[in-house]
Structure 1
Amino acid sequence: MSTTVLAVEGLTVYRDTYAAVQDVSFALEAGTDTAIVGPNGAGKSTLIQAILGVLPRRSGDVFLMGHALSPRGVLPGKVRQQIAYLPQNFLFDRRIPITVNELVALGWDTLGPQIPWANRQPRRLAVSRALAEVDALHLGPQPISRLSGGEMKRALLAYCLVRPRRLLILDEAPAGLDALGESEFYQLLYQLKQDQGWAILQISHDLDMVRKHCDRVLCLNRNLRCQGTPDYALAPDNLVAVYGSEFVRYRHQH
């Protein structure tokens, strides 16, 4: 039996006086990968931020693991811990002296800062296990300033794994990777979805990737123009509805 991890009902979000997202409804089941596609300015990031409680909603409801997101974006701590978010760009000052082990350990939030790192046995074991899951155990002692783009993405996925999660939200997370790095990232993501039973909600502009890896697609341009399997949602008529005829003609010619 499938389990609903996220349900969005009639969600409308304003930016100033503009309805950036209007009357959007959909649900995510455990163990599925859902992509949000649409043109620039379609409200994709706004939708994600409203689901995370970063942006207030004008109307509608968001339910995460069966718990309603409050109007102020508040969830019970036990629910919030089951959600992981990877942004498009992870910006940091490369002069900060932090290792990959310490970065991943930030996802383990039950121990106080008074306990020395070397004595935090459960935390150290969780960090090692998470890094091993993404084939990055060897990166643990390295400072994050030395990581390549692909290595940083693996470290951030390990951060998501250091505690059990049920929902992973990505805002164009492979941005900045070359073709090989992007392919490896999605292969790893697919394997983790299978192993961990994650529900994944991701923004993507790569329709070929969406066809290959995702289970469902939400076609968004302020409101949901269509949703369904990749074969259905990315059919030419539906792409015209969300992107316009010029976009579809361009893709066909190339």
Structure 2
Amino acid sequence: MRISLMTTCLVDVMAPDVARATVTLLERLGHEVVFDKRQTCCGQMHTNSGYYTEAAPIVRSFVDTFEPALETVDAIVMPSGSCVGCVRDQHRLVAQHEGDTELEQRTDAVAAKTYELSELLVDVLKVTDVGAYFPHSVTYHPTCHSMRFLKVGARPLKLLRAVEGLEMKNLPESDTCCGFGGTFSVKNDATSDAMVTDKAANVERSGAEFVVAGDASCLMNIGGKLRRTGAEPRSVHLAQILASTREDPFVPAETILGRAS
């Protein structure tokens, strides 16, 4: 398959290794990955805050970037459940808010080929065992948008359980939010901090070496709290685990998503 990668702006700036891991994984599975350098942002920060008019130029830019490629690529992949949720649900709402029927039709066409990583692997590529090797214990945090918007369900868990050497640990209160929510963590910082404090405590309670999720934003939030409290667990994106092999193992680094062991 020919797959277009939308890295997301947060991954591009804060966690570029997640994008690299996504490419490594898909190419190892025998697929061609293309990258359009015109891409910027999906507009989620604006749409989540209700700024639909301000989001409209961003949505148009997104569509202008990815719609022309629909005839030459089989899918668009984004290593972020929240960004895919924005493309699938909120882009249409922005177009409707602006009364732009043509834009609405274009957003629908792009959304129909846009997938979160675990969706792409399980539903489109029909694979759960990607040949990964990760000899560590992990606990899985299902991010709010992936769980409630996209309904990814057990797809990430199916992928993780097929990883050689990986030990799954139960995350207490796994379905509760980590408190990030983009601008929510800025506008409601005290509430957000209380939420991520509880989440980090549950990650510690799981006894896992790593907390894994499909959204770098949530991992940035949880990982930041874990580091500030001196907790042992580190955060790692699903793509990084799935890209790790015996020949080329994932090595935790001093990045926004993890810290050196």
Normalised TM-score (structure 1): 0.29
Q: By percentage of residues, which structure has more strand?
A: 1
Normalised TM-score (structure 2): 0.29
Which of the pair has more CA radius of gyration?
A: 1
Q: By percentage of residues, which structure has more helix?
A: 2
